[in-house]
Amino acid sequence: MNNQDKNVITKCGLSSLEWPQFNPGQLLDDDDMNSGVTYTRELVRLLFRSLFGCGVICGLQVRPQWACNETKWSITVTKGLALDCMGDVIELPNDVNMVYGPDCQELPPALWVTICYIKKCCRPKDVACSQDDNTQPKPTRVRSGYEIRLYNTLPTCACHCATADDTPPKPKVDPCCDDTEPPAPAVTATTTLASETSTVTVCDCYKPHFEGDCDCGCGCECVILGKITVSTGDNPVPTTDTTMVRRIRPLLNGYIDCGSLKLVDLERKRKRERARDRDAEKEVELWDERAEETEWIPEARRPKAQTQETARARLGRRKRSGTVGRTSRGN
C-alpha cells in the first residue's frame, strides 16, 4: 500500500508577518502603502531580537569624571549602537555629555546609566485639500531616537546581565525583566572551529540564547550601559562598572568567553609554539650530522660551516630573544 494514501494529521497557522500584494486597477490607500514598510520593519525586529537578543553592539562607553569641585559628575557616553528587547535599533550618532548632581545634596553611592529607544513623528503636512481654513496636518515621517536615563537604583525593566544589585535577585536565565525565578547554574558547552574542539564556559546571561530560546518579549526599551561609583583610596575618582552590560555581536571567528568578546584560540598558539620548537631541534640535529660528516676531512680543507657547539650557542641566543623556530639558510 502506498504511504501517500494514508491520512496524515496536519495543522496550519499564520505568522505575525504580513506584506502587501497589489493588483491592476486596485485603489491604494495609506494602509496599503504603509503595510510594505511595516512588513520590512517587523521582519528586521524579529530577526534582530531572535538572532542577537538585547544589548550593546558597539561603542556606548560611559566615561565619568568630577565636575563643579567634585560636587557633580560629568558623564560622557560615546557614540554606538544597541538593541532593545523588541529588536529596535538604538543609535547614538555622536558622543553625548551630561552633568549630574542633585542640588544641595550628596551624590548617590551608585548611578545606573541606560539608553532607551524612542521614536518621534515629524514633517507634518495637510491631508485635506479644501477651500476653507480647516486643514488637518498629519506627520509624514517617523524618526527613531534615543534617550539617556540616569537612575539611583537599578531599573526594573532594562536589558542587562544579572548582578548582586538585583532585588529580588534577577534570574540569570532571562536577559530582560522577569524577577520571579531563581538564578540558573552555569553550563559548559563544546564548540568546534576549523576541525579543532575547545571547551568554553557559557555565561549564565547568554545561556538561553546559546540553547536556542527565542526573545523574551518583555517589551523593555532600555539597555544598561554601566554603573557609576566612586573608587576608594587617597584619590577617589568616579569609575564605571560594566559587568552587567550585555554585549552582543556576530561572532565571525573564535569564541566568546562569558560575553567579553575575547577571541580564545590557545590551541592554535600552542601548535605554533610546538612547531617552532621542532624546527629548532631539527636545526641542531642538522648541524650535528654536518659535524659528523666533516670529522674525517682535514681541518684546512673543511668548509666554513658552523660547528655543533656554535649551532647550540646560536639556538640558546634565539631562545632568549624569542625567535626560536625561524629556520636559517646557513652561511
For 68-71, the CB contacts below 8 A with 24+ separation are 68/99, 68/101, 71/101, 71/107
Q: How many CB atoms lie within 10 A of CB 95?
A: 13
Give the pLDDT means over successive 10-residue stretches in the chain (331 positions). 68 84 85 86 88 90 90 92 91 93 84 93 76 73 91 89 74 47 40 40 76 74 92 86 88 53 54 74 72 56 52 64 52 41
Task: Specify whether the CB–CB gap between 177 and 86 falls below 8 A.
Answer: no
Task: Specify whether the CB–CB gap between 178 and 218 falls below 8 A.
Answer: yes
Residue 118's Cβ-side half-sphere holds a number of Cα atoms within 13 Å equal to 11
> 0.85 exceeded by the pTM?
no
- The domain segmentation of the chain, as residue ranges, is 32-128+135-180+215-249, 267-321
When the pLDDT of each residue in the chain is averaged and rounded to a whole number, the result is 75
Determine phi and psi for 258, rounding to 5 degrees: 60, 35
Task: Specify whether the CB–CB gap between 203 and 258 falls below 8 A.
Answer: yes
Confidence at residue 56, expressed as pLDDT on a 0 to 100 scale:
93
Question: Do strands 62-67 and 72-77 pair parallel, antiparallel, or not at all (unpaired)?
Answer: antiparallel
- For residue 175 the three cell numbers come to 536577559
